[in-house]
């Protein structure tokens, strides 16, 4: 009996092994390691993974506050910033070295707090060390000195190049990974379809542009670059979901409302977020690791939105509706949701915290239950002193979560779901969770940072845009450059238009003299170049200057042959000096008679109106204020052969530039049709295989591929024969290309078929194909035309005007791939054990009632078959409690063992003779 049972057991395990080979395996074993960590982590360690904290100063000693939060309260993420004094961009020690040393110190603290031995290896759960590094210098790039001077997203958008977006992301990824940062709070992938000059909440140059398809392409390419540059060691947090480009409020200051239907928000705001959360076998690195949830209300997800409704960050029902959309459901099972800063002024204003007190426990608890996986307890008090005000609230919130974890089952389940995803994300960043794998080489950090200078200079030059006049009139209006005898006056606002001095006074003047002064091309005399701040000009217009200061300003303006208006952010409500140029052009324009007046937008390009622009000689957009943008902006003034190649990625009302019109198919561009099937040289038979054609890349009026979804109409005309039929089909572009199939089933004599394509006002030359009638005609109906999926384009567009940037490679984004549940070898062993147990119990239950060994073998094989069917259903996720019921860990394994045992037992149980 024992011998037979053992033999049967071995046979069952062998069969299970063969079936296991047919099911997908989890090659990275992230689930397995996460399970092992969970089984060994304390409650405090587990709950602490939810929290991201900032801290004051750079002290990471054992007595420091951040050491207390990591070692005692086990926080899982730390945000570093210049504003909190964690690092300095003006210190004697190189900033990259400061960051590398700080990140290593923080990871050392985490190692000392939670290291353990698993599978004979010492491992620990590393910290997420996060930073804001969007580009364009202060305030959205925290790491500047010694790092590559990153451009704004809108600079990248003005090049319309996915290659440039990818290159910019790679620079960020390489530099941050080198200094130990492993979480980037970016990129911004909001769509700015309606710019609002001077409006609160206007994202300006932080966005890639105003067309959601192009924002999606550039955002995905940027994320791909980050992952490539960091070798997969940097997680991205795309923001600000669900999109706040049209929001009329700054969500950091006030909770904004998006009053749009689901269909409307899907077609615009959600499109880039859907693109960067789409899993693709052909582009796995283009998917973001996390989304940041913004403090906005959204009518598409929340019923009866009112001014008192909670933002998505605190609304469980609203956020769950959003994440249940097909665009995000598959990604959200493993992707992280990171709440926007929970101490933002918008949350405090929404909860009336200034009058009633900041309910920090309620905010943290509701943010978790809403569905956020990481909770940034940043600005987490009403006070300004982090140690005295924020730190007690942070500790209080963590201890509150620890208590609730023991007391509340629903809360515990929600914590387990989020922490498991956090662990999987951290495991995915490193080859192993050893300390040596996580720490960075401090000596190499400085050399690795700042290496992307040449790349960003090229991008800045190709981003520079001539807004006014049109290219054909540019050199007529500006035929000469400033010379050594010309007085040049620069009006700038890098100190007067921001909360702090973002660039030194005279930054444009210094760049001009460095390139074109005595140490450069010697085109200008340093003694003839001067700079005035916007505040001086504003006070002059308002009559608030002393007589001597007024005489100085009027003298500089009167003597200047060239006036360069360096335009910065326009926020007249907060910074009245930012009105100076508009007031100058409106009220004191007579001072500019017979002068060459050139405006350069070092921020958003849509702040001047049509009347103000008409008083300019030329108007350029550089879209940023870092060194490469400053230098590129001066080239068309001093280098007569330089023609700006960039095109504005947003509406610019002052120059009548409408983005939607610019993205329409260019009427002057002739579309080329390519015959795909049957290939050239082969006959096309009536009634045979279809004629398959596709377009070349359809170009817009700016010389770039049209957005995905642009309609193309194909027509097919019979030119000879007894009949004249005109089948047509309308299909959409993917990557600028569209395709169609023509089924030629009408009985007709041999002749010619002419195929043409048109998109908007653009059209193709006809493609003429000879038709051959088979010996036996096909007695079918009229010709039909059907759309075919647009093929992957291989052609390279030739822009209407020569430009110097490399042509972007256009790759259609394929649809989301189905997610298949993975099983591991432990599942396989448990299945075998379950089948073994079920059959053994069945054999023993039938003892004394057997009907021959043949029948016994038959019943055993039935049990094996049913057990394997259960294993397959579990492996495919159809009967998996982790997916269906949300179970985790050991409970899932117990279910598999019991389920397979019951199935294996059933045949024997059904064969029991009934008692009389």
Residue partners of 859: CB distance under 8 A and separation at least 6: 842, 846, 907, 908, 911
Higher pLDDT, 629 or 830: 629
For 10-37, how does the pLDDT look when each residue is reduced to its tens digit (9 = 90+)? 444 444 444 444 444 443 456 688 889 9
Mean pLDDT of 714-720: 79
Does 136 sit behind a cis peptide bond, omega within 30 degrees of 0 on the bond before it? no
Contact status, residue 537 vs residue 584, Cβ threshold 8 Å: yes
Q: Mean pLDDT over residues 52-75, rounded?
A: 97
Side-chain half-sphere exposure of 261, counting CA atoms within 13 A: 2
Give the pTM: 0.82
Percent of the chain with pLDDT over 90: 64
More confident residue, 238 or 724: 238
Average pLDDT estimate for 670-687: 85
SS3 446: helix
When pLDDT is averaged across residues 811-825 and rounded to a whole number, the result is 43
Measured between alpha carbons, how far is 295 from 431 in angstroms, rounded to an integer? 35
Give pLDDT, residue 662.
Answer: 96
Q: Give rounded-to-5 percent helix, strand, coil for the chain.
A: 40, 15, 45
Helix and strand counts by DSSP (H, E) for the chain = 32, 29
Buried b (16+ CB within 10 A) or exposed e, 483-496: eeebbbbbbbbbbb
Full DSSP string of 842-854: HHHHTTT----HH
Question: What pLDDT is stored for residue 319 in this prediction?
Answer: 95
What rounded mean pLDDT belongs to the chain? 86
Q: How many CB atoms lie within 10 A of CB 553?
A: 18
Round to whole Å and give the CA distance between 679 and 693: 10
Q: What is the pLDDT of residue 779?
A: 42
pLDDT above 70 covers what percent of the chain?
83
Higher-confidence residue: 296 or 839?
296
Q: Is 723 left (phi over 0), alpha (psi -120 to 50) or beta?
A: beta
The closest alpha carbon to 890, from 421, 416, 401, belongs to: 416
For the CA atoms of 99, 105, 109, 111, the dihedral, rounded to the nearest 10 degrees, stands at 90
The pLDDT score that the predictor gives to residue 878 is 61
Q: Which residues contact 388 (CB under 8 A, 6 or more apart)?
A: none
Q: Which helix (H) or strand (E) holds 758?
A: strand 751-759
List Cα–Cα distances, 719 to 143, 379, 544, 679, 694, in angstroms. 66, 73, 79, 21, 21
- Residues 188-210: tens digit of each pLDDT: 999 999 998 886 778 999 999 99
Q: Is residue 798 over pLDDT 60?
A: no
The span from the first CA to the last CA of the chain, in angstroms, equals: 28
Q: How confident is the model at residue 900 (pLDDT cuts 50, 70, 90)?
A: confident
831-889 tens-digit pLDDT: 888 788 877 777 766 665 555 666 777 777 777 887 778 777 776 666 666 555 555 55
Close Cβ partners of 324 (under 8 Å, ≥ 6 residues apart): none
**CA nearest to 822, candidates 285, 119, 28:** 28
> For 681-705, what is each residue's pLDDT tens digit?
787 777 778 889 999 999 999 999 9
Confidence of residue 892 (pLDDT cuts 50, 70, 90): low
pLDDT tens for 378-387 read 999 999 999 9
């Amino acid at each position: 009996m024992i011998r037979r049972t053992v033999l049967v057991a071995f046979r069952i395990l062998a069969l299970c092994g063969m079936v296991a080979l047919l099911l997908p395996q989890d090659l990275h074993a992230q689930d397995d390691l996460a399970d092992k960590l969970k089984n060994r982590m304390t409650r405090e360690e587990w709950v602490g993974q939810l929290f991201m904290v900032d801290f004051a100063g750079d002290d990471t000693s054992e007595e420091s506050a951040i050491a207390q939060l990591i070692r005692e309260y086990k926080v899982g993420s730390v945000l570093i910033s210049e504003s909190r004094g964690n690092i300095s961009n003006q210190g004697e020690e190189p900033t990259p070295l400061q960051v590398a040393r700080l990140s290593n110190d923080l990871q050392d603290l985490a190692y000392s707090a939670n290291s353990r031995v698993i599978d004979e290896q010492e491992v620990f759960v590393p910290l997420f060390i996060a930073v804001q590094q969007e580009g364009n210098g202060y305030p959205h790039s925290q790491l500047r000195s010694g790092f590559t001077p990153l451009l704004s997203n809108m600079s990248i958008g003005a090049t319309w190049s996915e290659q440039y977006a990818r290159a910019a992301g790679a620079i960020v990824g390489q530099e941050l990974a080198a200094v130990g940062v492993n979480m980037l709070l970016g990129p911004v992938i909001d769509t700015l379809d309606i710019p609002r000059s001077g409006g609160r909440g206007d994202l300006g140059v932080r966005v890639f542009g105003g067309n959601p398809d192009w924002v999606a392409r550039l955002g995905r390419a940027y994320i791909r670059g980050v992952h490539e540059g960091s070798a997969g060691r940097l997680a991205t947090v795309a923001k600000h979901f669900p999109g706040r480009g049209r929001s009329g409020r700054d969500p950091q200051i006030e909770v904004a409302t998006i009053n749009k239907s689901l269909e409307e928000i899907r077609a615009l705001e959600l499109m880039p977020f859907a693109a960067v959360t789409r899993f693709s076998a052909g582009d796995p690195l283009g998917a973001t690791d996390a989304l940041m949830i913004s403090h906005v209300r959204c009518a598409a997800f929340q019923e009866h939105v009112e001014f008192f409704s909670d933002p998505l960050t605190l609304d469980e029902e609203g956020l769950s509706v959003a994440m249940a959309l097909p665009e995000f459901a598959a990604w959200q099972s493993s992707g992280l949701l990171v709440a926007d800063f929970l101490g933002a002024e918008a949350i405090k204003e929404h909860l009336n915290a200034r009058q009633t007190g900041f309910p920090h426990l309620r905010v943290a608890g509701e943010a978790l239950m809403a569905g956020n996986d990481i909770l940034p307890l940043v600005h987490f008090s009403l006070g300004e002193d982090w140690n005295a005000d924020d730190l007690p609230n942070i500790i209080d919130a963590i201890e509150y979560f620890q208590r609730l974890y023991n007391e509340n089952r629903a809360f515990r389940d929600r914590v387990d779901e989020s922490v498991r995803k956090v662990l999987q994300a951290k495991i995915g960043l490193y080859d192993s969770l050893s300390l040596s794998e996580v720490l960075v080489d401090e000596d190499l950090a400085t050399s690795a940072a700042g290496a992307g200078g040449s790349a960003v200079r090229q991008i800045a030059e190709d981003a520079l845009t001539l807004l006014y006049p049109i290219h054909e009139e540019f050199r007529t209006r500006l035929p000469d450059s400033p010379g050594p005898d010309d007085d040049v006056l620069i009006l700038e606002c890098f100190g007067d238009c921001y909360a702090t001095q973002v660039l030194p006074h005279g930054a444009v003047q210094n760049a001009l003299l460095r390139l074109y002064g005595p140490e450069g091309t010697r085109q200008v005399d340093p003694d003839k170049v001067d700079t005035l701040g916007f505040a001086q000009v504003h006070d002059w217009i308002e009559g608030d200057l002393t007589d001597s200061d007024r005489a100085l300003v009027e003298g500089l303006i009167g003597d200047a042959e060239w006036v360069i208006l360096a335009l910065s952010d326009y926020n007249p409500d907060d910074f009245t000096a930012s009105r100076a140029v508009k007031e100058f052009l409106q009220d004191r324009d007579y001072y500019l008679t017979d002068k060459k007046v050139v405006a350069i937008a070092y921020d958003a390009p849509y702040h001047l109106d049509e009347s103000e622009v008409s008083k300019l000689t030329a108007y350029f957009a550089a879209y940023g204020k870092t060194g490469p943008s400053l230098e590129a902006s001066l080239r068309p003034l001093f280098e007569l052969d330089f023609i700006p190649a960039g095109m504005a990625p947003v509406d610019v009302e002052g120059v009548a530039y409408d983005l939607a019109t610019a993205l329409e198919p260019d009427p002057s561009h002739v579309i080329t049709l390519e015959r795909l099937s049957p290939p050239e040289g082969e006959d096309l038979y009536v009634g045979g295989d279809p004629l398959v054609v596709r377009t070349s890349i359809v170009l817009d009026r700016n010389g770039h591929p049209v957005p995905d979804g642009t309609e193309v109409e194909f027509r097919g005309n019979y030119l000879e024969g007894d009949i004249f039929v005109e089948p047509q089909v309308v299909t959409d572009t993917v990557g600028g290309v569209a395709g169609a199939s023509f089924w030629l089933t009408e009985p007709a004599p041999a002749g010619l078929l002419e195929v043409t394509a048109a998109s908007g006002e653009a059209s193709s030359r006809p493609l003429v194909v000879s038709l051959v009638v088979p010996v036996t005609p096909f007695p079918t109906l009229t010709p039909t035309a059907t759309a075919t999926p647009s093929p992957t384009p291989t052609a390279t567009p030739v822009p209407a005007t020569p430009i110097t940037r490399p042509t972007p490679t256009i790759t259609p984004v394929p649809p989301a791939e189905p997610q298949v549940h993975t099983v591991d070898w432990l599942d396989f062993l448990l299945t075998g054990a379950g089948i073994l147990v079920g059959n053994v119990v069945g054999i023993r239950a039938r003892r004394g009632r057997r009907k021959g060994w043949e029948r016994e073998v038959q019943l055993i094989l039935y049990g094996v078959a049913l057990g394997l069917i259960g294993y397959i259903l579990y492996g495919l996720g159809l009967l998996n409690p982790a997916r269906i019921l949300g179970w985790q860990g050991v409970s899932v394994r117990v279910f598999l063992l019991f389920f397979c045992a019951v199935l294996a037992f059933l045949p024997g149980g059904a064969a029991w003779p009934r008692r009389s």
